[in-house]
Structure 1
Amino acid sequence: MLSRTLLCLAVLSACTPALADTVWLTNGDRLSGKIRLFDGGKLLIQTEYAGAVAIDWKQVKTLESDQQLLVKQDDYSAEVAKSLQAADAGKVTLANGDAPKTVELASIQQMLKPRPVVEDMVWKGNVDVALDYERSENKTDDYAIDFKTSARHGHWRHTAEGEYNREFQDEVVTTDNWRAEYALDRFITEQWFWQGRFNYKRDKVEDLKLQRTVGTGPGYQFWDDELGAFSLGSLLNRTDYEYTQGGRDNFYSLAMKWDYNRYLIGRSVELFTTGEVGKPLSSVADYALDAEAGLRYRVTDWASLNLKAERNEIKGTQESDLDKTHYSAGFGVTW
């Protein structure tokens, strides 16, 4: 009798399909998978047959999910639904024990897995490390590490990034610099935001040994979801330069800042570029450019390989120009 019972249970479990989230579209199609995130008008569902698929929220008829999700209908209140149940066209039912609630899909602004402390916080980032050892006619040792992380909660987004580069050629230091930046964004609408930021750079080799910038200005977020993000910002900056020989410059400038990344081939390859180009309002310098671009290949959900190029250029300074390009390849951690 026991063996028969175990056999029946095994057959039943084999015949029962695994639980999955389901999305019904207005054109009659249906997608099954795991809902990852809804934000910025896009619903991201992870499927076994097509990888991560981004769906326009206006094309969703209804949906269901067996996972716990945080559902936000405005910027100040949110509800943790134990599951989602399909409802009439344009609606979904939030299941919470004995008090299920049916809401309009159009009223939902965001859906994501609740976080342990700040439930509606979206946190992402990466740390990249590059090491290069060359032993030929010249001995070259090159070390580079950089990080970037951002956390968004309600109307606010915090972004911190930094990097450190050091290079030896025949035991002589040819590169030794580091940079740190912090930016705080306040979203006015779903796309428009106002940014304040502080940037600090220190170089122990170049004639321009210190750059310090404080800026503020409006920006526009074109999209930001699990398949990538793109934003542009315009800033009014106050910049201070200090030179190795003792000279100083300070000036105001107008700058354009960009931040773009996009996942390709089922989120296994990431194309990214960030940077800023600025024009001083005085004759201290002609222009300044600080940018990077590269590719990141995700080996696992958290480990990645990266290839990038960095460009730092300042032309027309009273003391000494800066013109530097750095290429690196390495490994990193992504979350």
Structure 2
Amino acid sequence: MNNGDVLSGDIMKLDSGKLSLQTKYAGTIELDWRYVTALDSDKSFWVSLIGEEEARLRQFEGQETGVTVIDSNGRKRSFSAVWPVAAIHIEKPVIADTWELGGNLVATLDSKSGNDDELLIGVEGKLNIDDQWNKNAFYWDIEAEDDDGVKSSEWKVGYSYSRYLDEHWFVQGAAEQEYDSDEDLRTRTSLGGTLGYRFWETAEGALKTSGGISRLWEDYKTNESQQDYALTWVFNYRTRIINNWEYFANSRTFFRLKQSTTLVNVNQGVKIGLTDHITWNLTHILDYDSDPVDKTQKIDSRVKMGIGYQW
């Protein structure tokens, strides 16, 4: 385990991110797969790796960190972490994929500066529906302000689907729309696809990046609406700092091909686990447009605080 504990027993199954272990001292216990750092066994199991359509009969060989998977033909593959192992069964499963539901919901207070200075309250959330090679993410961020009876609102909603080809490579399709009742840029909609590479993804941290092409639609209240294709680059990183403190950084860059301009969104911050489910979040968000249509300032910056619930 990632806390240094070594547990022994009979492996019953790995299903939906939970490892069932039959022990002599505590009966059957369930372990969150994200916190398992190494695995060893002298038995054979039906094992599914990320990106595979069906389970295969395999054995495990222990490492200090990670796992070595041995196929029935003797082929060995060593991984520095256990996350490439998606499912383990004693008997051959009818289907290899198992779905897992997770997400978070956060109440936020947002201080914005740049082209407009605002203080907004809102709610944001994310819902993940995943199996070992299909990843679905629905997300939203809704904020509102009442300034002496003058009400304004802004929101962002999006969806992404990632299909993993193996434990590292994946293709992703994504759609997103942003709205701001105060800005001349009323809505921005993006739709695109990327090819990505996952360097690692464990309970301790993750690093993923992808690149591709998107279509942008930008609608203005007073200026002419614009459409353009854009080269797209996405970067996602998180790491555990200490105990329940986690640092995260995510960015998305569009390079508009027809206009030869750049649009960048970066959000980074710290998430602190107060309990197993309750978190405190501090996020800094930066939006950069190299050639803004409606404003003179190229950068909008905001700091957002929130209390969240994750499952």
Tell me if both proteins adopt one fold, taking TM over 0.5 as the criterion: yes
The whole-number CA distance in structure 1 between the counterparts of 2:288 and 2:49 is 45
* TM superposition shift of 1:216: 1.0
Inter-partner Cα distance in structure 1 for 2:210 and 2:308 = 27
1:35-68 deviations in whole A, cap 9, x for unaligned?
A: 5327xxxxx43xxxxxxxx34xxxx6x3499xxx
- In the alignment, structure 1 residue 323 sits paired with structure 2 residue 310: no
Indicate how the Cα distance of structure 1 residues 252 and 316 shifts in structure 2: closer, same or farther if over 3 A, else same.
Answer: same
Residue 269 of structure 1: CA displacement? 1.2
Alignment correspondent of 1:258: 235
Q: What is aligned with 1:177?
A: 154
Q: Identify the range of structure 1 (286-295 vs 117-126) with the bigger mean alpha-carbon deviation.
A: 117-126
Q: Supply the distance in 1 between the matched residues of 2:208 and 2:68 (Cα, whole angstroms).
A: 31
Residue 311 of structure 1: SS of its match in structure 2? Answer: strand
d(CA) in 1 for partners of 2:191, 2:60: 49
2:32 is equivalent to residue 36 of structure 1: yes
Partner Cα separation in structure 1 for residue 68 and residue 285 of structure 2: 48
Q: For residue 155 of structure 1, report the CA deviation from its aligned partner.
A: 2.6
Q: Tell me which amino acid in the other structure corresponds to 1:222.
A: F
Over residues 192-215 of structure 1, what are the superposed CA-to-partner deviations in whole Å (9 max), with x where a residue is unaligned? 111111111111111100101111
2:223–2:294 contact (8 Å) kept in structure 1: no
1:291 aligns with 2:269: no
Q: Indicate if the aligned counterparts of 2:194 and 2:232 stay in contact, CA closer than 8 A.
A: no
**2:161 is equivalent to residue 161 of structure 1:** no
CA distance in 2, matches of 1:170, 1:163: 23
CA RMSD of aligned residues (A): 4.0
Q: In terms of mean alpha carbon deviation, does 289-298 or 103-112 score higher?
A: 103-112
Match of 2:99 in 1: 121
* Residue matched to 1:233: 210
Q: Which has the larger radius of gyration?
A: 1
CA–CA separation in structure 2 for the residues paired with 1:176 and 1:313: 21
Q: CA 1:272–1:132 in structure 2 vs 1: closer, same or farther (change >3 Å)?
A: closer
**Contact kept in structure 1, 2:54 and 2:96, CA below 8 Å:** no
Measured after TM superposition, the shift of residue 265 of structure 1 is 2.4
**Alignment match, 2:284:** 309
Task: Please list, as runs of the form range in 1=range in 2, the aligned pairs for 1:69-148 lying within 5 A after superposition.
Answer: 71-72=47-48, 75-78=52-55, 106=77, 109-111=84-86, 120-131=98-109, 142-148=120-126
* Mapped contact 1:70–1:120 kept (Cα < 8 A): no
Distance 1:223 1:166, change over 3 A: same
Deviates more, 1:222-231 or 1:233-242: 222-231
Quick check: 1:213 aligned with 2:202? Answer: no
TM-score by length of 2: 0.70
Paired position in structure 2 for 1:21: 8
- Given the alignment, which residue of 221, 241, 248 partners 1:272? 248
- Secondary structure of the corresponding residue to residue 21 of structure 1: coil
Corresponding residue SS for 1:247: coil
CA contact (8 A) 1:180 1:200 kept: yes
- The answer as to 2:188 corresponding to 1:192 is no
**TM-score, normalization by structure 1:** 0.66
Partner of 2:201: 224
Distance 1:163 1:231 in 2: 22
**Number of residue pairs aligned between Structure 1 and Structure 2:** 265
Counterpart of 1:301 in structure 2: which amino acid? D
List alignment gaps of at least 5 residues for structure 2.
Answer: 1-5, 11-28, 90-94, 112-117
| Partner-residue secondary structure (3-state), 2:33 | strand
Q: Percent identity?
A: 18
For 2:14, the equivalent position in structure 1 comes to none
Counterpart of 1:152 in structure 2 is: 130
CA contact (8 A) 2:87 2:96 kept: no
Deviation at 1:105, TM superposition (A): 7.8
Distance 1:118 1:150, change over 3 A: farther
Question: Is contact 1:247-1:319 (8 Å) kept?
Answer: no
**Bigger relative contact order, structure 1 or 2 (CA pairs below 8 A, ≥6 apart):** 2
